[in-house]
Structure formats: structure tokens, C-alpha cells
């Protein structure tokens, strides 16, 4: 039996979308392909409220995260992190030989504008890299406020955001907030299989890239930009993903973006209320993620045991990530998951654990 995915990625994919992935293949240098890419790209721009270029990368999000440090940092970057995924971005920056100033906050805490300000005051940073939704801890950072502070005080410093587990689940106003890069993979709130990442790049970020040597090739933003004019991708892309994304975007607009974001908000509230009643929330109050909830395992339940029982009902949740493996567990409520499905899941957990 298939187990419905309530893990924070990959998320559940509707059978229609899997069918679209199986659309008969076309050549990536054909007119049909340019038509497809030319259709889907403005839809993602609309989702991100941006006029910036939006590129498609046939890679997981980590590839684009690497691209950010190779394109937007010549010498020094400020890497802000609050959990496992954002810490990896700091490691990526170091692995690429960039001077990496680290801003670390305790797991479960959020990164606040004044913390970023304190670091940027010292000067010399070209770019800030930061995660919007830290999938390990279930914390959503106040990116809009960080961006606002930077616009006022450090207008020349670029801001790149990992929105891997928030994009398409919550509103991200790329132009309004002033994000230079905003990136995500399709396997989270887009509710599509893993394998393609999308990312917006501002004009000033493209200008910056021109001055940075050794950008590599596969993730060189200027190569993506060059192929933009031909309405193509630099290399052979995952065409199946683009077929499905094109349809999925139509479905998102049919639901309505505001409605989609509101649905995510409603699910988050239910997931949090349930957690406060039976466990505790891992995230700092006020900064809880809208797309997943991380629970402190206050009852010391066996998450593996719970999952065994859930499997019989056709569902799976996630344990904690990294150092919180046994101490926490996570439930994703994003993508095409409905409030009814979430309520059903929580009902099963109540039944299995004998909660009332």
C-alpha cells in the first residue's frame, strides 16, 4: 500500500501530476520546448510576485545554493543559520573557498533582523545567505523584516534566500521584499517529484555575477541568462518536470494563490494546536513554520513505532532531523495536502497513542 507522505519532502504527489510527468518526450531545442518553458516561467514569476528572471535548474536545490555562493560572492559572505539545512549552506560557501562569516542561532530559534545587522555592521560582506523555512526545526525566519533592514542600512549587500520548504505554500513577495535570489525545489510545497529547482535572480545579482570569476558552468547564472533569450535552458533539462509544473501552476491559480496560502495557514494552526495540547512545539513562539510543524517528543513516544501503525492506515510522518532525531518529530502540511487529510492523520495518531 502506498503511504501518503506527511514528511517534509518529498511530499505527496497527485496521480494526475505523475501522469503529466509521463507526457511523450520532446527535444529540448525544439519549438515545442520553448513554448513550454515560455508558458511555465511567467507562471512561476507570478507565484513569486516578481519580474526578475526565473530560471529552472535540473538539480536539487543544493545545486542552486552552491550556485549562489559561486555567482554572488567573490570574497566574503554572511551565512545565517538556525538548523541543519541552513548550516549546510555555510559549509557549501566554505567548500567553495569563500570567506564565510557565520551567524548561528540555537536550534528552534529564529534569525532576527538585529542579529543580521550586528554582523553586517562589521562590513565587507557582499551577500547574505539565509533560509526562510528551516525544515529541521520548523522555524520560519522573518525574511521580509531582514530584507527591509538590509534595504535601509546595507543597500549594496545582496540577499539570497533558501525558500525550499516554503515556496508555493506561503506568500513570498520577491520584488516587494527585495530578494536577489529566491530558490526552491519542486518536491516540497509544489507537490511534485524531486529533480528540478526554480530560482529567481535580480538584475543586480546578475551584474554582480559578471564581476565574480570562476563561477563554474552548470550553475553559472550568466549562462542561464544567455539561454533565457532563446527561451531554452543551458543543458538538457528534466522535461517531465516542466510538463508537470506547467499543469501544477494552472491548478494553483485555479485554487487561487491567496486561498492556497490561507489553506496552508489553516493547516498550520490545526497542527500547532494539536501539538500544544499533546506535546510541545519546537519552534520559538511567533516564528513557527507554516508548512511543517516540529514537535518536541515530550511523551518519549517511539516515532518508528508510530509510523509502523500509521503505515497500516496508509500514512507516514517524519522523525526529528540530525541531532533531534529521537527528541522530536515532524509533520508536513504543505503542497496539495488538505485540512481534512491532516485532521484524519491527527485522528489516527490520537487513536494509536491513546490521546484524547
- Of 154 and 242, nearer to ligand PLP (C-beta) is 242
Q: d(Cα 73, Cα 208) in Å, to the nearest integer?
A: 8
Q: d(Cα 315, Cα 308) in Å, to the nearest integer?
A: 9
Strand partners, 103: 80
- Of 85 and 199, nearer to ligand PLP (C-beta) is 85
Is the preceding peptide bond at 272 cis, omega within 30 degrees of 0?
A: no
Q: Which residues sit at the interface with ligand PLP, rule CB under 6 A?
A: 9, 60-62, 85, 131, 135, 162, 164-165, 185
Taking the complex as a whole, the smallest distance from the CB of residue 210 to ligand PLP amounts, in Å, to 26
- Of 92 and 232, nearer to ligand PLP (C-beta) is 92
Taking the complex as a whole, the smallest distance from the CB of residue 166 to ligand PLP amounts, in Å, to 8
Q: d(Cα 17, Cα 310) in Å, to the nearest integer?
A: 25
Q: Cell 518536491 identifies what position?
A: 187
Taking the complex as a whole, the smallest distance from the CB of residue 122 to ligand PLP amounts, in Å, to 26
Taking the complex as a whole, the smallest distance from the CB of residue 163 to ligand PLP amounts, in Å, to 8
- Of 85 and 274, nearer to ligand PLP (C-beta) is 85
Nearest-10 crossing angle of helices 239-255, 31-47: 40
Q: Is 330 annotated as a binding residue?
A: yes
Q: To which H or E segment does residue 64 belong?
A: helix 61-72
Taking the complex as a whole, the smallest distance from the CB of residue 60 to ligand PLP amounts, in Å, to 3
Q: d(Cα 180, Cα 201) in Å, to the nearest integer?
A: 6
Q: Comparing C-alpha atoms, which of 80, 94, 135 is closest to residue 332?
A: 135
- Of 164 and 192, nearer to ligand PLP (C-beta) is 164
Residues of the binding site for substrate: 330
Amino acid at each position: 500500500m502506498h503511504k501518503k507522505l506527511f514528511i517534509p519532502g518529498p511530499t505527496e504527489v497527485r496521480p494526475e501530476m505523475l501522469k503529466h510527468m509521463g507526457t511523450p518526450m520532446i527535444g529540448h531545442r525544439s519549438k515545442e520546448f520553448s513554448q513550454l518553458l515560455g508558458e511555465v516561467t511567467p507562471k512561476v514569476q507570478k507565484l513569486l510576485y516578481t519580474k526578475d528572471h526565473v530560471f529552472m535548474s535540473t538539480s536539487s536545490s543544493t545545486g542552486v545554493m552552491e550556485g549562489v555562493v559561486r555567482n554572488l560572492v567573490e570574497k566574503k559572505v554572511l551565512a545565517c543559520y538556525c538548523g541543519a539545512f541552513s548550516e549546510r549552506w555555510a559549509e557549501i560557501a566554505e567548500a567553495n573557498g569563500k570567506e564565510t562569516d557565520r551567524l548561528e542561532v540555537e536550534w528552534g530559534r529564529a534569525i532576527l533582523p538585529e542579529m543580521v545587522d550586528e554582523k553586517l555592521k562589521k562590513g565587507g560582506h557582499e551577500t547574505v545567505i539565509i533560509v526562510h523555512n528551516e525544515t529541521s526545526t520548523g522555524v520560519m525566519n522573518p525574511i521580509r523584516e531582514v530584507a527591509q533592514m538590509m534595504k535601509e542600512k546595507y543597500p549594496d549587500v545582496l540577499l539570497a534566500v533558501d525558500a525550499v520548504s516554503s515556496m508555493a505554500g506561503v506568500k513570498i513577495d520577491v520584488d516587494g521584499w527585495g530578494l536577489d535570489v529566491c530558490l526552491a525545489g519542486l518536491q516540497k510545497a509544489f507537490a511534485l517529484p524531486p529533480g528540478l529547482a526554480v530560482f529567481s535572480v535580480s538584475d543586480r545579482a546578475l551584474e554582480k555575477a559578471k564581476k565574480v570569476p570562476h563561477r563554474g558552468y552548470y550553475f553559472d547564472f550568466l549562462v542561464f541568462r544567455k539561454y533565457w533569450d532563446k527561451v531554452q535552458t543551458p543543458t538538457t533539462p528534466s522535461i517531465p518536470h516542466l510538463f508537470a509544473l506547467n499543469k501544477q501552476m494552472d491548478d494553483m491559480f485555479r485554487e487561487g494563490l491567496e486561498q492556497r496560502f490561507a489553506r496552508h495557514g489553516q493547516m498550520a494552526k490545526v497542527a500547532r494546536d494539536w501539538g500544544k495540547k499533546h506535546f510541545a512545539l519546537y519552534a520559538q513562539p511567533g516564528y513557527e513554520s507554516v508548512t511543517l510543524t516540529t514537535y518536541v517528543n515530550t511523551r518519549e513516544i517511539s516515532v518508528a513505532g508510530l509510523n509502523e501503525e500509521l503505515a497500516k492506515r496508509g500514512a507516514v510522518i517524519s522523525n526529528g532531523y540530525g541531532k533531534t532525531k529521537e527528541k522530536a518529530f515532524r509533520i508536513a502540511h504543505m503542497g496539495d495536502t488538505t485540512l481534512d487529510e491532516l485532521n484524519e492523520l491527527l485522528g489516527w495518531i490520537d487513536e494509536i497513542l491513546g490521546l484524547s
